Structure 1
Amino acid sequence: MATPFFKTNPDIIKPYALMDLDDTLFQTQRKIDVWNLPTAKTEHLVCAVVNKQGVPLSFMSQRQANFFNWLLVSTDLIVVTARDRYEIKRVKLPFNSWQVLTHGAIILTSDGELLSTWQQHMYNELVPLQDKLNQLSQVFANHSKNDNSQLVFTPHIDSFSNGSVNEELTIYLAIKHTQKDHQALVELAKKLPTLIRDFEQDFYVHVNANNLAILPHAVHKRHAVQFLLDHHLDSQRPSFGFGDSLADLPFLQLLDWYGMPNHGQLHENISSQ
């Protein structure tokens, strides 16, 4: 049987677009200035995120807003972000599909409901690590009380269930520097394996700009995206995605096509080689 040639088909099958958010689709004014983004004059900016007080915090340039609008209309847009369930509420964009949150520890359905099978899986993974996460939390909580400390420590906690049991569990730990000293965070990351026994057996560390995250190996965007691809997404539909961080690369490599903005950690890493 001869292989047919391509013919256009008016019945469009929407691809899946799996998208990181911060620094991929929007960013703060400080980063807009650093990256000198085009179409980002004040009158062109679109508010994408507000802070805890409801004040605009992160913005899309006109090009980014046009790109996002195209994604919403033309694809099944799936959020893949480090933001947790509380932080995602401050993103003022109309998402209407799956959401992979908290570095992959949480999956929400298109209705905004927790995906129960993933919840139970993550419960089983996180429970054995709670003592070590609490030990690390105590170390950083004590350190941040020091008058000379310029580190801001935040444990990310959410509710997980295992059948009838519903429990608050620590997922990962985040650290920022008040003066946005990236090198100070890099140096801290090098010291972390000495803080508790078998650190590297249970955890990995991700540093990007002014964010340091201490994560269990079970918590990763790649694991959650793989679960969606295997159990919930249509394998006949094409997939593509974008991310700005080295931590995005493993989930992007699961897709048919992937890319990055022309700024940020991933772009800089490739450009330097």
Structure 2
Amino acid sequence: MKKFLFVDLDDTLFHSLAKCDPADVLQPIAFLKDGSANSYTNARQRAFLDLVGEGMTLIPTTARDRDALARVDYPFAHYRIIDFGGIILAPDGTPDRVWLARMGDDMATALPGLRQVRAVIEDYAQRAGFPARIRLVEDLGLPFYVNVKDADKDLARLDAIEREAVEPWLATAGQDFCLHRNGNNLAVLPKRLNKARAVDYLQARLRDEHGPIMTFGMGDSRSDARFMAACDYAIIPRGTQLSALALGAL
């Protein structure tokens, strides 16, 4: 029986330098467009990759777009789920056409709302004097979600944007959208855009191709829980947002 690991990347398999333990022996694994390293693995993460690489096929299940995934120094050779589940890349790197058409219809419906919430956030940030970076994230010609980061990584300012701008909009005009927040990363996504939908679709495709399969899901954040629950087993790294929510109370 073939085994597949649907795995988030950032803060799951590797970390930015600011989140790494300085006592660890680090190796760069992901890079910016200028070639400089911005994410690293520690010895435990490298040992984990060696372990699962022996008996499982890794399928990245990430918010990264195609360009950002290509800058991860790991030989992902099978299907890849990117853009929060918006795009599924086949083993040859081409987009899955059935999924692309489905998401094209969904994102066309969502685009007016994405533009509206971006304008709401921009207006609030300007009035509050916050140096927020606000952008509508697109890939392969499709709009997917609005991303907000504070230029100074001041989480209190991002908290205010979430509380005063995003949450009131979600409660009124934005009921078909949801919020993803993890540190200095705030995203407003259409509810039709989620990793779990893509994982469900791809699991069915893998069963058609291979017969019975076993699947594992691994992630660090609250938003990963849905796609992990769609798998046979779930793996949660220690010290993550999801670990605190799922295991901390125990």
Unaligned runs of 5+ in 1: 1-12, 160-167
Which secondary structure does the structure 2 equivalent of 1:248 belong to?
helix
1:49 maps onto 2:30 in alignment? yes
SS of residue paired to 1:199: coil
- Structure with the largest fraction of helix: 2
Flag the 1:148–1:210 CA change in 2: closer, same or farther, 3 A: same
Which residue is equivalent to 1:162?
Answer: none
Which runs of structure 2 are paired with 1:1-273 in the superposition (5 Å)? 13-33=1-21, 41=24, 44-141=25-122, 148-159=129-140, 168-191=141-164, 192-195=166-169, 198-233=172-207, 234=210, 236-273=212-249
Q: CA deviation at 1:128?
A: 1.6
8 Å Cα contact 2:130/2:157 also seen in 1: no
Q: 1:26·1:59 contact (CA, 8 Å) conserved in 2?
A: yes
Supply the distance in 2 between the matched residues of 1:213 and 1:45 (Cα, whole angstroms).
29
The letter of the residue matching 2:182 is: N
| Structure 2: distance between partners of 1:253 and 1:148 | 40
Rate the CA distance shift 1:265–1:235 in 2: closer, same or farther, 3 A: farther
Aligned Cα root-mean-square deviation (Å): 2.2
Distance 1:148 1:49, change over 3 A: same
1:217 & 1:211 partners in 2: Cα distance?
18
Report the CA distance between 1:14 and its aligned residue. 3.5
- Return 234-243 or 108-117, whichever deviates more: 234-243
Count of residue pairs the alignment pairs up: 246
Distance across 2 between alignment mates of 1:211 and 1:86: 19
1:71-124 Cα distance to aligned partner (Å, 9 max, x none) = 223211111011111221221111111111011011001111100000000011
Note closer, same or farther for the CA distance 1:27–1:196 as it changes in structure 2 (3 Å cut): closer
Normalised to the residue count of structure 2, the TM-score between the two structures is 0.89
Q: Distance in 1 between matches of 2:71 and 2:169?
A: 34
Distance 1:232 1:92, change over 3 A: same
Does the CA-based 8 Å contact 1:186-1:207 persist in structure 2?
A: no
Assess if the C-alpha contact under 8 Å between 2:170 and 2:178 holds in 1: no
Q: Identity of aligned pairs, percent?
A: 30
Structure 2 gaps, min length 5? none
Whose radius of gyration is greater, 1 or 2? 1
The structure, 1 or 2, with the larger RCO (C-alpha pairs under 8 Å, 6+ apart) is 2
Deviations along 1:25-68, one digit per CA (max 9) or x if unpaired, are: 100121113xx7xxx53xx3221111221111110111211211
Q: Is the 8 A contact 2:2 2:212 kept in 1?
A: no
Describe the SS at the equivalent of 1:174.
Answer: strand
> For residue 11 of structure 2, what is the amino acid of its counterpart?
D
SS at match of 2:33: coil
Measure how far apart 1:242 and its partner are: 1.2
CA distance in 2, matches of 1:202, 1:246: 19
TM norm structure 1: 0.82
How big is the shift at 1:133?
A: 1.5
For residues 8 and 99 of structure 2, the distance between their equivalents in structure 1, rounded to whole angstroms, comes to 20
What code does the residue aligned with 2:131 have?
Q
